[in-house]
Amino acid sequence: MVVSRRTFLGSALAASALAGVVPAPARAASPPGDVVGKITVGYQGWFAAPGDGSPINAWWHWADNWGQAPSPANTAITAWPDMRDYSRGFPTAYQNLGNGQPATLFSSYDQQTVDTHFRWMRENNCDTAALQRFNPFGGEGPTRDGMAVKVRSAAEANGRKFYIMYDVTNWSNMQSEIKTDWTAKMSALVSSPAYARQNGKPVVCIWGFGFNDPGRPFAPGPCQDVITWFKAQGCYVIGGVPTHWRTETEDSRTGFAGVYRSFDMLSPWMVGRIGNVADTDRFYTNVNQPDQAECNARGIDYQPCVLPGDLPARHRAHGDFMWRQFYNMVRLGAQGIYISMFDEYNEGNQIAKTAETQAFVPVGSGMLALDEDGTACSADYYLRLTGDGGRMLKGQIALTPVRPTQPVVGGTPPPPSDLARGRGTAQSSQTQGYGSGNTVDGNQDTYWESANNAFPQWVQVDLGSAANARRAVLTLPSSWGTRTQTLSVSGSTDGGAFTTLVSSAAYTFTAGSNTVSITLPGTTTRYLRVTFTANTGWPAGQLSGLQVFA
């Protein structure tokens, strides 16, 4: 199987550094086209099943062992698709769904599947699809060739654009074979009116140059040769590059400065690098802003990744995580946005329709549904969220940090119950009359404040009985200005011995909403404590609301 992109993770954020960078010729930034000013979604299209008519005729990417039906012991996915829009499903070895229906999976090789996916793109403001193309010279090649034809047909029928995105992972003879593949096969797609163009040129993306891992060992010279060759074919060339391309640290090899800066557009990878809103804000300040400045200075278009979040890792926070990325990238002034990914059920970061409750997940599979944090979400929620993010990118709705997309459309699901409301509280200290009871009174304008200049400080709530806590929502008064508080969350069953549930991190309370949502690991706890060690707005711990949801 293809090595997952996500296995190559960055750690600490690197500081901006331009020393030693090979200068690139200045050029004007690009006007709107099929990728600039647009939402592009990464499209795998790599699922198959025996009997679907595909040359590979196997459980391609559904199972670890492609020769056997997927099951809990033989699975390659971490999230389950919502199957209600597909005309055909292939029986698996999973138990039935929670609603009693058979557990079936789609095949990407069905034209109806691809047509359905591109219809979802059309309905949800996804402009362009980047069709992933791994080494086509092995056994997977004929199936990938067939998928390219199916994607062309679906894009034309739905008024969407598409382009070829070469992933060079584990492609030993990449330098010569990528040219052969383009000349002999993929360049024929350019004649389609649906093939994406930017600045009048057909778009090609090459993902994987410069990554610091054994799956992509290519030296700068061969990489530069490939980029130069594609440009000579008249292509607009996008680079799917390491997160830390600019500083050539962590996930980036050294010596690639000139390679990176010879691309027409840069799209740094982000999956596995962030997992909550605080991560997103740190990257915005320390990585995205200097990246954008570097690209602006050199006339390179910048297309950062936005991801819905790893579902099994509970990163999604019912859309707040993804929306914060949209907000940050639009206020950054990014030339386009790349969604990672459309149909990546293997890594759980798909926006395509997904099981919304356990009724649509195989019994005993251990997979989570979109309602994992207690908030009901429709199967198409992340498609709709992407649609609204695209409208904000294009200026069709105002820039806003407040997510406008409702998790369920047209329905009135009962809101989850706040387990902390009106419960007993305690604190390490308080200033004047600003006691901890204000955090559970339901009033965002009343607040707790600790003793000043005396960190660390904490506030806690007694839930009354042990509960499987999944989410904590922290607020400050809505009229207060933006501030960042560094805090951790711990829990206890007896009020004496506390265990860390969420490690210390910086959380930004943004003026207007002044709300932070923190995903909890689901540990059974009765006493929930929030410990503060820093506050950029005042030398004390401050909190107006502490809500806890099962």
Q: What is the tens place of the pLDDT at every residue in 182-218? A: 999 999 999 999 999 999 999 999 999 999 999 999 9
CB 204 within 8 A of CB 168: no
Assigned domain for 259 exists: yes
Strand (E) or helix (H) holding 90: strand 90-91
CB 115 within 8 A of CB 78: no
Give how far Cα 9 sits from Cα of 209, 271, 362, 527, Å: 15, 8, 30, 34
Q: Within a 13 Å sphere around the CA of 235, how many CA atoms are in the beta-carbon half?
A: 28
The pLDDT tens digits of the residues spanning 282-333 come to: 999 999 999 999 999 999 999 999 999 999 999 999 999 999 999 999 999 9
Last residue of a domain, one of 393, 410, 439: 393
Assigned domain for 400 exists: no
Provide the 10 A C-beta neighbour count for residue 115: 17
CA–CA gap between residue 118 and residue 95 (Å, rounded): 30
Q: Could you tell me the pLDDT band of residue 21, with boundaries at 50, 70 and 90?
A: very low
Q: Is the pLDDT reported for residue 387 higher than 90? A: yes
Same domain, 340 and 221: yes
Beta-strand relationship, 301-302 and 265-268: parallel
Same domain, 209 and 344: yes
pLDDT at 77 (0 to 100): 98
Same domain, 160 and 289: yes
Q: Residue 202: which CATH number?
A: 3.20.20.80
pLDDT at 7 (0 to 100): 43
Q: Residue 447: which CATH number?
A: 2.60.120.260
Same domain, 94 and 211: yes
DSSP 8-state class, residue 396: S
Give how far Cα 194 sits from Cα of 88, 130, 154, 444, 477, Å: 26, 12, 9, 50, 49
Q: Could you tell me the pLDDT band of residue 228, with boundaries at 50, 70 and 90?
A: very high
Q: What is the mean pLDDT of residues 506-533?
A: 89
Q: Could you tell me the pLDDT band of residue 24, with boundaries at 50, 70 and 90?
A: very low
CB 304 within 8 A of CB 337: yes
Assigned domain for 527 exists: yes
Same domain, 360 and 429: no
Same domain, 386 and 428: no
CB 451 within 8 A of CB 484: no
- Give DSSP secondary structure letters for 179-248: HHHHHHTGGGGGGSTTB-EETTEEEEEEE-TTBSSTT----HHHHHHHHHHHHHTT-EEEEEE-TTTTTT
The pLDDT tens digits of the residues spanning 304-316 come to: 999 999 999 999 9
Give the 3-state secondary structure of residue 151.
helix
Assigned domain for 15 exists: no
Assigned domain for 227 exists: yes
Same domain, 432 and 388: no
Same domain, 249 and 346: yes
Assigned domain for 276 exists: yes
Same domain, 270 and 320: yes
Q: What is the mean pLDDT of residues 71-99?
A: 96
Same domain, 435 and 368: no
pLDDT at 410 (0 to 100): 66
Q: Could you tell me the pLDDT band of residue 368, with boundaries at 50, 70 and 90?
A: very high
Domain that holds residue 152: 27-393
Assigned domain for 253 exists: yes
CA–CA gap between residue 68 and residue 70 (Å, rounded): 6
DSSP 8-state class, residue 167: E
CA–CA gap between residue 155 and residue 501 (Å, rounded): 45
The reply to whether omega before 193 is within 30° of 0 (cis) is no
DSSP 8-state class, residue 309: -
Q: What is the mean pLDDT of residues 126-154?
A: 97
Same domain, 455 and 386: no
Q: How many domains does the chain have?
A: 2
The pLDDT tens digits of the residues spanning 401-424 come to: 999 999 998 654 755 678 998 899
Q: Could you tell me the pLDDT band of residue 442, with boundaries at 50, 70 and 90?
A: confident
Same domain, 430 and 388: no
Backbone CA torsion sign across 231, 237, 241, 246: positive
Assigned domain for 9 exists: no
Q: Could you tell me the pLDDT band of residue 512, with boundaries at 50, 70 and 90?
A: confident
